[in-house]
Amino acid sequence: MKVYYNTDVGAVRDSNQDSCECGQFSQDSAWAIVCDGMGGANGGNVASAVAAKEIKEFLIRGFDENMSRENVKSLLLNAVSGANRAVYTMAQEQEELHGMGTTAVVLLASKGLLHVAHVGDSRAYLKNKEGLSQITMDHSYVQDLVNIGQITQEEARVHPQRNIITRALGGHEIVLCDYSFFDFSPGDAALACSDGLSNYVDEALLLEYMEKYDKDGKALTNRLIEYAVKSGGSDNITVAVIKNG
């Protein structure tokens, strides 16, 4: 397993409210966390950084390569729940941080499986021999409109209310986190990103980049960020990639 990441403030924002943590447990296991904060410059920065740190520490403390899939699921959900409590408590205790929150998408690859947990509209994608697919569903207002057939996925990407999310870490004492798992074979790659990338890159273009830079994960993260910045860069941009082999 190899893991790569990069983050950028973008072309418009004054500060980067995204946070990213990545690492390897061993040659056969890796993890990545992408968080996109909200709640003003200070609040967003704090929420995403606290959440990413809490999840990272929980994973490092609790992961064992011999864990069952159900135990890995519990590990991820408990990690996100703990991060939510940390952000929520800080927001309640510090007046200047009231209202802060963050998305979170967590990838953990081990023993031929990719485990994914997420809250909010930061996304995960999986590239395998069948192509590329988005493997998370946004917790957002526009995704709800897509789900009931009021707008198309293409319209959602440019909708004026696309930044309204329906779930976030830190907003409530308890958060509902989605979990799923997928086969993760040699040659496969998983990508997690904030909406600063997904608002500019559709699946076809993302697949093109992932195939072009298949042998160079660092170049992939750099080129994707460069593309998003050149396309407008209206938000912070973060990309993390786990490659199996």
pLDDT at 146: 87
Mean pLDDT of 208-223: 96
Give the predicted TM-score (pTM) of the model.
0.95
The pLDDT tens digits of the residues spanning 89-111 come to 999 999 999 999 999 999 999 99
| Run of H or E including 134 | strand 131-134
Which has the closest alpha carbon to 209: 200, 158, 114? 200
**DSSP states along 172-236:** SSS---EEEEEE--TT-EEEEE-HHHHTT--HHHHHHHHHHTTT-HHHHHHHHHHHHHHTT--S-
Is the pLDDT at 170 greater than 80? The verdict is: yes
Mean pLDDT of 35-64: 93
Give the residue from 178, 189, 163 showing the smallest Cα distance to 44.
Answer: 163
- CATH of residue 158: 3.60.40.10
Whole-number percent of the chain with pLDDT over 70: 100
What is the model's pLDDT at position 232?
A: 94
Domain count, the chain: 1
pLDDT at residue 40 is higher than 80: no
Rounded Cα–Cα distance for residues 31 and 126 (Å): 14
Rounded-to-integer distance, Cα 129 and Cα 245, Å: 14
Q: Tell me what the pLDDT averaged over the chain comes to.
A: 95
pLDDT band at 41 (very low <50, low <70, confident <90, very high): low
Residue with token string 């979170």: 104
d(CA 50, CA 31): 17
The pLDDT score that the predictor gives to residue 153 is: 81
**Are 182 and 135 within 8 A, CB to CB?**
yes
pLDDT value of residue 158: 80
| 156 against 113, higher pLDDT | 113
Q: Which domain holds residue 88?
A: 2-243
Confidence of residue 42 (pLDDT cuts 50, 70, 90): confident
